Structure 1
Amino acid sequence: MSLLNYLQRIGRALMVPVATLPAAAILMGVGYWIEQSSSNSHNALAALLTTSGLAILDNMPALFAIGIAYGMSKDKDGAAALTGFIGFLVVTNLCAPSAVSLIQHIPIDQVPLAFQKIKNPFIGILVGVCSAEVYNRYSHVELPKALSFFSGRRLVPILVSFLMIAVAFILMYIWPLVFNALVDFGIHIQKMGAVGAGIYAFFNRILIAVGLHHALNAVFWFDVAGINDIPNFLGGAKSIADGTGIVGVTGRYQAGFFPVMMFGLPGAALAIWQCARPENRAKVGSIMLAAAFASFFTGITEPLEFSFMFVAPVLFVIHAVLTGLSVFIAASMHWISGFGFSAGLVDMILSSRNPLATHWYMLIPQGLAFFVIYYVVFRFTILKFDLKTPGREPEGDIIEMEGVEENVSASQAGESSNESLARRYIAAVGGTANLTHIDACITRLRLSVADADKVNDALAKKLGASGVLHLNKQSIQIVIGTQAEAIAEAMKSVSKKGPISAVLPALSSPISIKNNETVAPQLTAIHKTPALATLVAPVSGEIVPLEQVPDAAFSSKAVGDGIAINPTGDTVVAPLSGTIVKIFATNHAFCLESTQGAEIIVHMGIDTVALEGRGFERLVEEGADVEQGQPILKMDLDYLSRHAPSMISPIVISNSDDYTSIVLQAEKNVVAGQSEILAIIK
């Protein structure tokens, strides 16, 4: 994985703890409204709400450790989040001033100040990343039988605990240096005052293109470098009392975004609409209106920004410069407001009663001025340089593409609109054969693909995407708005039902856009991606989705992707030809490495290990080479059905991450050694 991709993963994971801020903003915003509207200066309800909000803000470093460990874990399991919290507790307690004094044999009053600030978001991020890496590598490890209770995800907190002891030991010597460097950086930026705020805002917008603005925001918005702008602002009266909040200063890294997001970008949307060709204005107008409203009301700007970011990069640079200018002006004039989510109308209203909000209402006339500036500058630039913003494509412009043939075995009946749209997005990015990983971050799909050249950008935009960003040959982002996470989940769901073929750019079947009419293409089938290998049912019975297996290790897919069978037959056969690399001593499960390299686990029943081999008979020995369909185990199904908690039997590919997709081939009853159940797509 490239450094850019890894940094993007961290940036994406940062949004998990940051997503808790709206809760704090609402609690404290309503609390301040009640407090200032009440004749009683010590209103109990106001105190209850503001104290509840502060509980979130005061524990942001721990939330960073938990959220990043969860967000970077490959299966998004709660055990990863717990691991992050355990790691944070170990490090922060070992590096607390009292512990450092004891371990380093120095008086406590000589312990460096850095250790009083060990509960720092930087430490939270470090612990979260380390915890996620350990979880991803060792959550599937199986220990010997005597230690089997500590296998898998139970092993990870133990490993992280020992790892964090080593990390804490290292931090005892380097944390003062790192902390002082971060603080010096923060002090340098703060000394730049309004100019520093403007520079930050400029780079905040520029980095949106590659999704790294979250990492930059962490430095200015939280206590990574001692600035901590958002929590200090939301802290209000408490921040003023403890000296971390300064009236007219705290909030300057936020305030200037309100005029841009609430007014400037809607002005740009108006210019883009008016510059569209007459026959396209109705369509462009509806898109721009929705994007402008989202920007004004909630502060979500990416759908609007991505509409011109790539087709007219000069406009995006102008937008970044104007954003920096707006933040500089607001900071210079001490017009301060803040937010817990983004700089939209909702956050402006919630923060208006905050004691640190000074002359916040002046951001509205500033915003009106920026509406005019954005409109004039964008309109002039678009017309002067004939920029191809939405609706200005050449008349009769042709978008060419080929059709798609989806696997007829994939069940589409009763699918939701999100699932239907998800299928089309999968086809647009090259089909399941090209799609290797699916994720999302608020407004954009973050996808890993085998070959980014196979992505049909034109089709993605026709499906409603504001833009498609090619980061490298294996990483793309599709901006589709606030439904991105729902679409990502739907893509994961439908991709399990069967292979979805690609819609690729071609020289035939054009879609012609002319006179506001669309001519539909002829859909032609393209060949299905051949499977690397196809598993047959290891036992006769009824197919059960893996998610319904009554064992969290299997249902969460922590062990691997696959399917389960509720057996009706008593003979267990090899699902593929290969080598039996392990048969458990209790004969309830075996591991097979196929000739193609697939690592398959067949586990008969749930908690059948407790039967100590009763009800199972081994027919081959460990290390044997077997053919597909060859008997491996014999079961006493009557005995097992009476004594096992469940006989639902998972069949999983433990190295499923090595393949493009695992496709279900059967949905009901199967016959051992005959019915195909899973196809492995390379």
Structure 2
Amino acid sequence: MLLTFFVDYIFLGEITMKGKVMDTLQTLGRTFMLPIALLPAAGIMLGIGASFTGDAFIELYGLENILGEGTVLNGFLSILSDSGDVIFGNLPLFFAIAVGLGVAKQAKEVAALSAAVAYFMMYASMTSTIDNFRDIDALNETAGLVGSVVGFDNTLNMGVFGGIIIGLIVAYLHNRFYKIELPDALSFFSGTRFVPIISAFTAVFVGILMAFLWPFAGGGIAWLGEAVADLGYVGTFLYGFIYRALIPLGLHHVFYLPFWQTALGGVAEVAGQTVEGAQNILFAQLSAGEPIDPEAAKFFSGMFPFMIFGFPAAAFAMYQAAREERKKDVKGLMVSASLTSIFTGITEPIEFSFLFASPFLYFGVHVVLGALSFVIMHVLEVGVGLTFSGGLLDFIFYGILPGQAMTNWIPVVIVGVIYGFVYYFAFRFFIHKFDLKTPGREEGDTESKLYTKQDYKDKKAGGKTGDVTDEMSKDIIEGLGGEDNLNDVSNCATRLRVNVKDGEKVDQPLLKSTGAAGVMVKGNNVQVIYGPKVANIKSNIDEYRQAQKKE
């Protein structure tokens, strides 16, 4: 609630308009995806490096002469591990840059630089204030509150919240002053050059303020984390339920991030260092060769059974339930969506294929089963983590490769197979019992038409690839109400997120005909779900809009 108030106060000036609060949170969640996108690459480097240089792995397979300390391979793998670790160690800085860049309206590169400068200035100011005016021993009484951040020792560890706060402040200053006109004598510092200056000075005062205020916030977060842990399996169920239930709104990033990256997800001592945040604890233990704590992994391991096993089974049930004349199209859709879920853990293409056909099937069946999966993995003390989502790649790197002794990954496979049958029979029963209009069962083709390979071939037959992408971009823009109706177009990992002037002008059937798995319109905010290909779709739209402006 404090974060919601802070965001709304800065950008909206009021907290009474529910729609605008949702808009702001969705914008914030979208900006999180840029630094989160770094995690798979960093995690793979850290996972491979730490797994193959771990003493347990080397001793188990008798590889002392190949991977033992002092060997060439050990040195190379250590480089990989250290290179991946630096991403996790500086993630708050990347969040500051991403939020500043993502919320800025224009000249985004200036906002990104200003956010980086302001982040360092805030920590320099905060560290000096603590050194001169605070009792460091008293601050150390709160676990995880004091640490080393971007080279500053004995400072407050604000985690990603520090980056988010400074990013929001810089974005506000940027949007307000990037067009400022100063007197002639100071005209060199007008416009965008003024933004880094005002951001740096503001960050100094923010650092002083945080030196006195953050200990209360940090203590509160730590207490809340302990409260969640004290709830035991009930807390795990609530986490899993809320996480999956928020996906249709696109607010799940805002929800899970504090658990992954702050004391809300736990505090632990690993290799003599205090680490906070479930994901940070997990990778610190992986790097140190320690068994993964199920209390940290409970925020992750529950994804694997339904993402790798459950959803493909549900997709098979929907394929079987389709009308005979539509099965060929539905098969292509479901195979593609299933492979995406299995390998990457990106599930929106499947989820939105039945969300609109039956909200009960989503919230009453899938969300409950998903939450139970988190609980079951917690009960079985599974220690498998992830960087982005619970697909097969993460399961291999952070479950199988570190070894059963470290992660206890075998129960995932056993439970996953069971979940496959549960999802299949549950979906099959509800689809036939209530005649749900899942893909291939609807009366008309327009509302449920999805962008298949044949659609692409039909368009390609009429022109070059560039013509196809331009035509698709044109259709998307028209579906959003036309160029004049667009305020802002951006994307996260799977969705095109658009702010329009008039939400009533959105043509949902037209958008679905471009391959969208689902369309959500809430006021003037539109989310069009395309899955992992959305980044390329967004780039094509940007290029098309720029080309149209030149004509």
Q: What is the aligned partner in structure 2 of residue 9 from structure 1?
A: 27
The 3-state SS of whatever aligns with 2:532 is: coil
1:324/1:60 CA distance change after superposition, 3 Å: same
1:86 offset after TM fit, Å? 1.5
Q: Which structure has the higher relative contact order (CA within 8 Å, separation 6+)?
A: 2
1:271 offset after TM fit, Å? 1.1
Is 2:544 the partner of 1:494?
Answer: yes
Is 2:336 the partner of 1:297?
Answer: no
Number of residue pairs matched by the alignment: 483
1:336 offset after TM fit, Å? 2.0
Say which of 370, 380, 388 aligns to 2:419: 370
1:211/1:365 CA distance change after superposition, 3 Å: same
Say which of 34, 49, 55 aligns to 2:52: 34
Q: Which whole-Å CA distance do the structure 2 matches of 1:493 and 1:144 have between them? A: 38
Is 2:468 the partner of 1:417?
Answer: yes
% of aligned pairs identical?
A: 34
Q: What is the aligned partner in structure 1 of residue 533 from structure 2?
A: 483
Is 2:212 the partner of 1:173?
Answer: yes
Is 2:325 the partner of 1:279?
Answer: yes
Tell whether the 8 Å contact from 2:330 to 2:439 is kept in structure 1 after alignment: yes
Q: Which whole-Å CA distance do the structure 2 matches of 1:109 and 1:203 have between them? A: 38
Q: What is the aligned partner in structure 2 of residue 205 from structure 1?
A: 244
Q: What is the aligned partner in structure 2 of residue 383 from structure 1?
A: 432
C-alpha distance after superposition, 1:117-156 (max 9, x if no partner): 3342111111111111211221222323322222222211
Q: Which whole-Å CA distance do the structure 2 matches of 1:246 and 1:399 have between them? A: 46
More helix by share: 2
1:25 offset after TM fit, Å? 0.9
Say which of 434, 438, 452 aligns to 2:503: 452
Tell whether the 8 Å contact from 1:308 to 1:390 is kept in structure 2 after alignment: yes
1:74 offset after TM fit, Å? 2.1
Aligned partner of 1:69: which letter?
G
The 3-state SS of whatever aligns with 2:295 is: coil
1:41 offset after TM fit, Å? 3.6
Aligned partner of 2:541: which letter?
M
The 3-state SS of whatever aligns with 2:466 is: coil
Is 2:300 the partner of 1:254?
Answer: yes
1:50 offset after TM fit, Å? 1.1
The 3-state SS of whatever aligns with 2:491 is: strand
Say which of 10, 20, 24 aligns to 2:42: 24
Q: What is the aligned partner in structure 1 of residue 271 from structure 2?
A: none
Matches of residues 128-139 of structure 1 in structure 2 within 5 Å?
128-139=167-178
Tell whether the 8 Å contact from 1:13 to 1:67 is kept in structure 2 after alignment: yes
Q: What is the aligned partner in structure 2 of residue 95 from structure 1?
A: 126
Return the index of the structure with the highest Cα Rg.
Answer: 1
Aligned partner of 1:348: which letter?
F
1:33 offset after TM fit, Å? 4.0
Tell whether the 8 Å contact from 1:218 to 1:224 is kept in structure 2 after alignment: no
C-alpha distance after superposition, 1:343-378 (max 9, x if no partner): 111111111333784211220121111111011111
Is 2:393 the partner of 1:346?
Answer: yes
1:246 offset after TM fit, Å? 5.2
1:459/1:208 CA distance change after superposition, 3 Å: same
Tell whether the 8 Å contact from 2:178 to 2:195 is kept in structure 1 after alignment: yes
C-alpha distance after superposition, 1:366-422 (max 9, x if no partner): 11111110111111111111111111112x56769xxxxxxxxxxx99835333311
TM-score, normalised relative to structure 1: 0.67
1:363/1:143 CA distance change after superposition, 3 Å: same
Q: What is the aligned partner in structure 2 of residue 66 from structure 1?
A: 97
Q: Which whole-Å CA distance do the structure 2 matches of 1:399 and 1:50 have between them? A: 48
Is 2:475 the partner of 1:428?
Answer: no
Tell whether the 8 Å contact from 2:265 to 2:296 is kept in structure 1 after alignment: no
Q: What is the aligned partner in structure 2 of residue 514 from structure 1?
A: none
The 3-state SS of whatever aligns with 1:335 is: coil
Q: In angstroms, what is the RMSD of aligned CA positions?
A: 2.4
1:238 offset after TM fit, Å? 4.4
Is 2:521 the partner of 1:470?
Answer: yes
Tell whether the 8 Å contact from 1:234 to 1:354 is kept in structure 2 after alignment: no
Q: Which whole-Å CA distance do the structure 2 matches of 1:185 and 1:129 have between them? A: 24
Q: Which whole-Å CA distance do the structure 1 matches of 2:501 and 2:513 have between them? A: 23
1:270 offset after TM fit, Å? 0.9
Aligned partner of 1:225: which letter?
L
Q: What is the aligned partner in structure 2 of residue 109 from structure 1?
A: 137
Bigger shift: residues 338-347 or 427-436: 427-436
1:88 offset after TM fit, Å? 1.3
Q: What is the aligned partner in structure 2 of residue 332 from structure 1?
A: 379
Q: What is the aligned partner in structure 1 of residue 79 from structure 2?
A: 48
Tell whether the 8 Å contact from 1:248 to 1:336 is kept in structure 2 after alignment: yes
Aligned partner of 1:232: which letter?
I
1:239/1:99 CA distance change after superposition, 3 Å: farther
Q: What is the aligned partner in structure 2 of residue 196 from structure 1?
A: 235
Q: Which whole-Å CA distance do the structure 2 matches of 1:307 and 1:293 have between them? A: 15
Q: What is the aligned partner in structure 2 of residue 320 from structure 1?
A: 367
Q: Which whole-Å CA distance do the structure 1 matches of 2:117 and 2:536 have between them? A: 30
Tell whether the 8 Å contact from 2:282 to 2:293 is kept in structure 1 after alignment: no
Tell whether the 8 Å contact from 1:305 to 1:316 is kept in structure 2 after alignment: yes
Q: What is the aligned partner in structure 2 of residue 529 from structure 1?
A: none
Q: What is the aligned partner in structure 2 of residue 185 from structure 1?
A: 224
C-alpha distance after superposition, 1:298-353 (max 9, x if no partner): 11111111111122101111111111000100011012211112111111111133
The 3-state SS of whatever aligns with 1:436 is: strand
Aligned partner of 2:527: which letter?
Q
Q: What is the aligned partner in structure 1 of residue 453 from structure 2?
A: none
C-alpha distance after superposition, 1:576-618 (max 9, x if no partner): xxxxxxxxxxxxxxxxxxxxxxxxxxxxxxxxxxxxxxxxxxx
1:76 offset after TM fit, Å? 6.4
Q: Which whole-Å CA distance do the structure 2 matches of 1:233 and 1:120 have between them? A: 16
1:198 offset after TM fit, Å? 2.3
Tell whether the 8 Å contact from 1:14 to 1:64 is kept in structure 2 after alignment: yes
C-alpha distance after superposition, 1:544-584 (max 9, x if no partner): xxxxxxxxxxxxxxxxxxxxxxxxxxxxxxxxxxxxxxxxx
Q: What is the aligned partner in structure 1 of residue 459 from structure 2?
A: none
Q: Which whole-Å CA distance do the structure 2 matches of 1:76 and 1:278 have between them? A: 53
1:108 offset after TM fit, Å? 3.8
C-alpha distance after superposition, 1:527-556 (max 9, x if no partner): xxxxxxxxxxxxxxxxxxxxxxxxxxxxxx
Structure 1 gap segments, 5+ residues each: 401-411, 499-662, 666-682
Tell whether the 8 Å contact from 2:46 to 2:287 is kept in structure 1 after alignment: no
Q: What is the aligned partner in structure 1 of residue 272 from structure 2?
A: none
1:7 offset after TM fit, Å? 0.7
Q: Which whole-Å CA distance do the structure 2 matches of 1:212 and 1:195 have between them? A: 22
1:194 offset after TM fit, Å? 3.3
Q: Which whole-Å CA distance do the structure 1 matches of 2:196 and 2:508 have between them? A: 43
Q: What is the aligned partner in structure 1 of residue 489 from structure 2?
A: 438
Aligned partner of 1:354: which letter?
P
Structure 2 gap segments, 5+ residues each: 1-11, 13-19, 147-154, 267-276, 449-462
Tell whether the 8 Å contact from 2:520 to 2:527 is kept in structure 1 after alignment: yes
Q: Which whole-Å CA distance do the structure 2 matches of 1:413 and 1:149 have between them? A: 48
TM-score, normalised relative to structure 2: 0.83
Q: Which whole-Å CA distance do the structure 2 matches of 1:246 and 1:413 have between them? A: 51
Tell whether the 8 Å contact from 1:24 to 1:53 is kept in structure 2 after alignment: yes
Aligned partner of 2:419: which letter?
F
